[in-house]
Structure 1
Amino acid sequence: MDLKELSMGLDSLWVMVATILVIGMQVGFALLEAGSTRMKNSAHVAGKQILSFAIASIAFWAVGFAVTFGKGNPFIGTEGWFLKEGKDTFASLDWANVPLSLKFLFQLAFVGVSLAIAWGGFAERAKLSVYFIFGIIFTIAIYPVIGHWVWGGGWLGSMGMQDFAGSTVVHLQGAIAALIATILLGPRIGKFNKDKTPNMIPGHNQVYTVIGGLVLWIGWFGFNAGSTMGTADGFFGYVALTTNLAAAAGAVAAILTAKILVGKADIPAMVNGVLAALVAITAACAFVEPWAAVVIGAAAGSFTFWTSVYFEKKGIDDPVCAFSVHGIAGIIGTISTGFFASPRLVEITGIGKAGLLYGGGFEQLIVQTVGVIGAAVYVAIVSFIVLFVLKKTIGLRVTAEQEISGLDISEHGSYGYPEQLDPAYMNAVNLKTTNASSH
């Protein structure tokens, strides 16, 4: 085996490990979102992670990957359907020294994360059929377009936009879709009083929420460090370092902010602080120094808690704070490189220019801002059109009776916690126990 083959083998192994870590984030989302919602919807909320990743896998293989990375124009890829490779079909990924199959699987894992984020805005009141239809459209016509603009040789990438692992491409996209869904669906029954004041609807299991957050934190090492898609220079270790520092800062900042603003060291707020910091550093992880990673993480963790409270007061019922955690933090992270991008790291990555604080002027800041606005507007418009049409045709929301009884029983026929929620189940168990003891 020569040096080239050895290098490719090591890179391929690393990308496969990173892919598994990112796909494993679906476990984190399942636990986090199920724990953050009510018991009567827990199986539905967790189970949709499998459904959405299955839908994304097929749709991205057939169409989405080609639109994202296929040869085309500055706006969309037009070649490479069903992963069919031709001359220069996927030239935008030639920098990665791994087989096409691994390139696809790694990028698919990102789509799965973005779609999981979007579902946060649908939680506890959307029809199951909507997940099928919107999931397919999101995977073939929403996510891939922004992905192409930034990573696939599109116009934002040509401008030098710095989004190393997807604060905008992955997180902001999912968050905007979640926000549009939240607005069109309307609040959950009982969330707001007649005077518009919010009622607290706590999640049923904070332990699940914490474990889910930890799983996501671990998976993020595959998300960010894996985006190097190589091992030769060890740069993936540096990316992992900035990622971890930001997450730690986000946790501390969020719980302190909660204590100051509401008087309690809120545990879900701390978990969201970790996630917000990870979202923010996702764009910047390869471009900023460690001290800047701490600043970015702390800012995202703190500001996300404040915005989640603010949006709730404004009548937006976002059950898992998807827009605050992934949208607001995604904007913070993407814009941050316009300030903090280090000249030495810009030279290493070869993307964009140094930030304002390093004497780079406003050029990179303007590029980052244009990228955020462009992506947000496109995703908002397309998501609104698709969801509005669905609302007027098949409907987005389950009936009031179904929502009150819970989506576990109304959509799937059984509760995630039958012994606690289903009287018929308990009666049957008690009857069997009585009959057994009588003998």
Structure 2
Amino acid sequence: METTVSTVDNVWMMICTGLVFFMHLGFAFLEIGLTRQKNTINILFKNIFIITIGLILYALVGFNLMYPGSFSLGGVLPDYFVDLFGLSAPTVEGALDLSYNAGYTYWTDFLFQGMFAATAATIVSGAVAERIKLPSFMLFTILYVGLVYPIVGSWKWGTGFLDGWGFYDFAGSTLVHSVGGWAALVAVALLGARIGKFGKDGKPKAIPGHNIPLATAGVLILWLGWFGFNGGSVLSADPGLTSLVLVTTCLAAAAGGLASFFMSTILYKNYDLTMFLNGILGGLVGITAGADKMGITDAILIGLIAGVIIVLGVALIDKLKLDDPVGAIAVHLICGIWGTLAVGIFGELASLNQFLVQLAGVGIIGAFCVVTAFLFLFTIKKTIGLRVSKEEEVEGLDIHEHGMDAYPDFTLDQMS
């Protein structure tokens, strides 16, 4: 019976791993769709780099740093410096030992967790699109994904001090999304706005994306991928809990999209598809911290509030003269904070004490991420530089950094 249960759980976890991997295609589509054609290859290149370097870093450093003392996929610090390149801790037979985990194997655990690791840098990629130097972004990704993400993750998922306090983050509203969102905020502030984003009067001007259908496809892919992101975080194929998580995830997404649509229509007197799309993502991020602890009404309310937050958050970012081409800060940072705090307001864990613990966790993680992201990015800015030249930005990063066009049959006039 144990073998059958383990097989079912393990297969479900592997399916979820594939769904989370598929989310990277959604992020790529969303980012290129909401930005200009002349930077398409640059954005795709960054996304491919994030996936590849993220997995290698997680194998060599991140897994052990996130779960210290429990694994030896590749050591980090002296206490864990066991087998940097070995991947040899469990044999194939040892990885199947149910004393490690009754639901899934060692290798499945590593790969599922590894898929989460790169997401933080993907969030930053969208926020800094169209004006960051590629080598600078790659260096920052290595530092942030290799060190900051697993350290923060260890505080909760690695049974660290936040876990001891009772801090709760089921699938990463803070541990994944806000970790990326804080870095995005710092990066956008240090980079400055794209040329033409703010006029002489300081008012923001829309810089339309070149392919909204592609951005829409990206959001739908991300929604599908969240079935693995949240559904896999059950860490088993338990039919009751898994189905509840998928239902709360979908309802929050739907409510977030509708709330954002209605709110933006009331404020701006038009039917803004991009707000609708980001509202869906805001609902997904918002429910991620407590998807397994919420009822139907809780999930809808969390999504509705997230949808409103998206519209107000995007307006706030513009008012602060920060330029975020894809709305990543509003979606991942602000809604990530909201979703984490919502655990103390709605659902099974709702209480003043839980809310205060959630608030403390958000503050501590936020401070750590802001300080480390600033140190990394400021150092990079003062050494090799963060931002491309004015000429490169105007003509497009595809030509200057990659020597090619995403759509070579189109003229330069059409690529602006």
Q: Same fold (TM over 0.5)?
A: yes
Aligned partners of 1:39, 1:141: CA distance in 2, in Å? Answer: 33
Structure-2 separation of matches of 1:134 and 1:94: 34
1:397 correspondence with 2:401: no
Larger radius of gyration: 1
Aligned equivalents of 2:411, 2:263: Cα separation in 1: 36
TM superposition shift of 1:197: 1.3
Contact map agreement 1:247 1:297 (CA 8 A) in 2: yes
Count of aligned pairs between the two proteins:
400
Greater CA deviation, 200-209 or 44-53? Answer: 44-53
Matched letter for residue 38 of structure 1: R
In the alignment, is residue 355 of structure 1 matched against residue 367 of structure 2?
A: no
Q: Is the 8 A contact 1:7 1:232 kept in 2?
A: no
Percent same amino acid among aligned pairs?
A: 40
- Alignment partner of 2:324: what SS? coil
1:393/1:225 CA distance change after superposition, 3 Å = same
After TM superposition, the structure 1 = structure 2 runs for residues 15-164 of structure 1, keeping only pairs within 5 Å, are 15-71=13-69, 79=80, 81-82=84-85, 83=87, 85=89, 94=100, 97-164=103-170
Q: What pairs with 1:2-401 in structure 2 (closer than 5 Å)?
A: 3-71=1-69, 79=80, 81-82=84-85, 83=87, 85=89, 94=100, 97-342=103-348, 354-356=349-351, 362-401=352-391
Structure-2 separation of matches of 1:288 and 1:130:
41
- Tell whether the 8 Å contact from 1:415 to 1:422 is kept in structure 2 after alignment: no
The alignment partner of 2:195 has SS state of coil
| Secondary structure of 2:289 counterpart | helix
Q: Give the gaps of 5 or more residues in structure 1.
A: 87-92, 343-353, 357-361, 426-439
Q: CA deviation at 1:95?
A: 5.2
CA contact 1:276–1:325 (8 Å) conserved in 2: yes
Tell me whether 29-38 or 311-320 shows the greater mean CA deviation. Answer: 311-320
Q: Corresponding residue for 2:93?
A: none
| Aligned residue type for 1:273 | G
Match for 1:54: what amino acid? Answer: T
Indicate conservation of the 8 Å contact 2:32/2:40, yes or no: yes
Verify the 8 A CA contact 1:8 1:98 in the aligned structure 2: yes
Alpha-carbon deviation of 1:215?
0.2
How many Å apart are 1:254 and its aligned residue?
A: 0.6
Question: Given the two structures, how large is their TM-score scaled by the length of structure 2?
Answer: 0.92
Contact 2:46–2:138 (Cα < 8 Å) also in 1: no
Quick one: distance in 1 between partners of 2:101 and 2:168?
16
CA contact (8 A) 1:18 1:106 kept: yes
- The one-letter code of the counterpart of 2:279 is G
Deviation at 1:421, TM superposition (A): 3.5
- Aligned 8 A contact 1:124 1:407 in 2: yes
Q: Counterparts of 1:129 and 1:224 in 2: how far apart (Å)?
A: 33
| Superposed displacement of residue 363, structure 1 | 1.0
Shift of the alpha carbon at 1:85?
A: 3.3
Q: Which amino acid aligns with 1:58?
A: I
Point out 4+ residue stretches in structure 1 off by more than 6 angstroms: none
Distance in 2 between the 1:108 and 1:234 partners? 26
Q: Is the 1:55–1:132 contact (alpha carbons within 8 Å) kept by the matching residues of 2?
A: no
* Cα contact 1:23–1:112 (8 A) shared by 2: no
